[in-house]
């Protein structure tokens, strides 16, 4: 029996939510990520008959990113760098410097919203510059600039943190 | 140190952009080849590439740390949007699904506000809150679609309770219009 739109919709939500939630967390922080995901899914559900649910990944990603950026643009709305507990079962977790990762998270949270969104789509979603430009409704050179500046800002912040830590360790 | 004996030119911003594009897999094969030649002969450029890789690895691990915990959230969201609403119902009445959906959503949001009012009111009353709450004879109950009470607000007079109920209904109408796209929010301030 052929699957209905509702079946396909639900399947798509279940399949892609893990990554969509991580994208939302990276852009708006953990505190508002659930709201972003909920609103994005609600928007998609309302117009579910318009979309092709056999290939929903791009559509869902675009909707979540747009919703996250919309939320950040609202008056009185500002990003709070929160501490998502993360995955305690992550095999890489034990090997890595948690403190440094916390610093990366905080530094990313302080980037301008478009820098942050471009970085997430590029490095977490492995999207091409052209695809990122499409999602963020920008030009490819603009995306390149956002990525470059975002990365430089992060590198500077992390360098400052590493220098500070070296100084502390030396004492 | 061997590196200190080799004359090195400072890394320019354009070179860093080139390295980033290389790591992003955005260079053409010809550009990649040229860069590889340079990397073989310019240790400072190769060092910069390693530095960028290390920074990227940190970010990748940070992003991985953001994953997880979505199961409960997904269940909550699916319960909100009601994907179990059969397509047949949507066909019979085009507006049946979305209308129920909006009402449910609006109701959930309204309940949050009511709870906020309740806490604020109790807090403002200080130590007398329990006594005042128990004395209040009028209640406004917020129900979900299944009829379960989600929140209760108590009032000293019927007039106040009605006023509150009317305000809430107005808010829900506004919320529904907002979800319908009939109005746009220009400010979050009330």
pLDDT for the residue A159: 85
At B53, give phi and psi (nearest 5°): -65, -40
Place of tokens 């969201």: B77
pTM of the model: 0.61
Separation in Å, CA of A73 to nearest CA in chain B: 11
Is B7's pLDDT higher than 60? no
Q: Dump pLDDT digits (tens) for B76-91.
A: 888 877 644 443 333 3
The segments of chain A whose pLDDT lies below 70 read: 1, 75-97
Report d(CA B153, CA B116) in Å as an integer.
10
ipTM over 0.85? The verdict is: no
Residue A72's pLDDT is 87
Question: Which residues on chain B are in Cβ contact (under 8 Å) with A144?
Answer: 17, 21
What's residue B176's pLDDT? 61
Instruction: Classify residue A125 by its DSSP letter.
Output: S
The predicted structure's pLDDT at residue A31: 83
Query: How many beta-carbon pairs under 8 angstroms link A with B?
Result: 125
**Whole-number pLDDT of residue A107:** 92
- The model's pLDDT over B148-161, given as tens digits with 9 standing for 90+, comes to 556 667 677 666 76
Q: What is the mean pLDDT of residues B116-125?
A: 42
Average pLDDT over residues B124-153: 54
Q: Which of A6, A49, A148 sits opposite B85 (nearest CB)?
A: A6
**pLDDT over threshold 90, residue B75:** no
- pLDDT category at B139 given cuts 50, 70, 90 is low
CA–CA distance, B84 with A45 (Å, rounded to integer): 12
Cα separation, B157 vs B8, whole angstroms = 83
What average pLDDT does the segment B91-116 reach? 39
Q: How far apart are the first and last CA of chain B?
A: 66
SS3 state of residue A1: coil
A113 neighbors A69 (Cβ within 8 angstroms): yes
User: How much of chain B is in helix, strand and coil states, percent to nearest 5?
Assistant: 70, 5, 25
Q: What is the mean pLDDT of chain B?
A: 66
Task: Summarize the confidence of residues B140-145 as an average pLDDT.
Answer: 60
Q: pLDDT band at residue B145, thresholds of 50, 70 and 90?
A: low
End-to-end CA distance of chain A: give it in Å, rounded.
71
What residues of B are in contact with residue A25 (Cβ under 8 Å)? Answer: 66
On whether any CB of chain B is under 8 Å from the CB of A93, the answer is yes
More confident residue, B141 or A131: A131
């Amino acid at each position: 029996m052929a699957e209905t739109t509702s079946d396909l919709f639900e399947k798509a939500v279940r399949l892609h939510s893990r990554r969509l939630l991580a994208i939302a967390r990276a852009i708006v922080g953990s505190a508002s990520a659930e709201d972003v995901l909920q609103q994005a899914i609600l928007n998609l559900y309302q117009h579910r008959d318009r979309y092709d649910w056999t290939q929903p990944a791009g559509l869902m990603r675009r909707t979540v990113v747009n919703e996250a950026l919309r939320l950040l643009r609202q008056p009185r709305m500002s990003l709070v760098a929160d501490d998502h507990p993360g995955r305690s079962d992550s095999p890489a977790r034990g090997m890595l410097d948690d403190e440094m990762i916390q610093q990366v998270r905080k530094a990313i949270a302080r980037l301008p919203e478009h820098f942050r969104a471009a970085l997430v789509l590029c490095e977490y979603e492995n999207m091409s510059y052209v695809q990122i430009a499409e999602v963020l409704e920008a030009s490819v050179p603009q995306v390149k600039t956002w990525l470059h500046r975002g990365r430089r800002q992060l590198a500077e912040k992390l360098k400052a943190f590493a220098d500070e830590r070296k100084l502390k360790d030396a004492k | 140190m061997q590196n200190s004996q080799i004359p090195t030119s400072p890394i320019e911003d354009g070179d860093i952009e080139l390295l980033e594009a290389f790591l992003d897999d955005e260079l053409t094969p010809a550009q990649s080849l040229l860069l590889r030649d340079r990397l073989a002969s310019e240790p400072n450029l190769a060092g910069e590439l390693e530095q960028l890789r290390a920074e990227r690895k940190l970010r990748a691990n940070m992003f991985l740390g953001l994953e997880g915990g979505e199961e409960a959230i997904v269940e909550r969201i699916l319960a909100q949007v009601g994907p179990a609403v059969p397509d047949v119902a949507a066909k019979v009445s085009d507006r049946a699904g979305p209308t129920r959906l909006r009402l449910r959503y609006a109701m959930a949001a309204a309940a949050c506000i009511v709870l906020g009012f309740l806490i604020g009111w109790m807090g403002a009353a200080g130590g007398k809150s329990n006594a005042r709450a128990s004395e209040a004879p009028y209640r406004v109950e917020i129900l979900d679609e299944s009829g379960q009470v989600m929140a209760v607000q108590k009032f000293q007079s019927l007039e106040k309770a009605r006023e509150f109920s009317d305000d809430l209904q107005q808010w829900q109408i506004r919320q529904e219009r907002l979800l319908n796209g009939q109005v746009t929010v220009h400010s979050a301030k009330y």
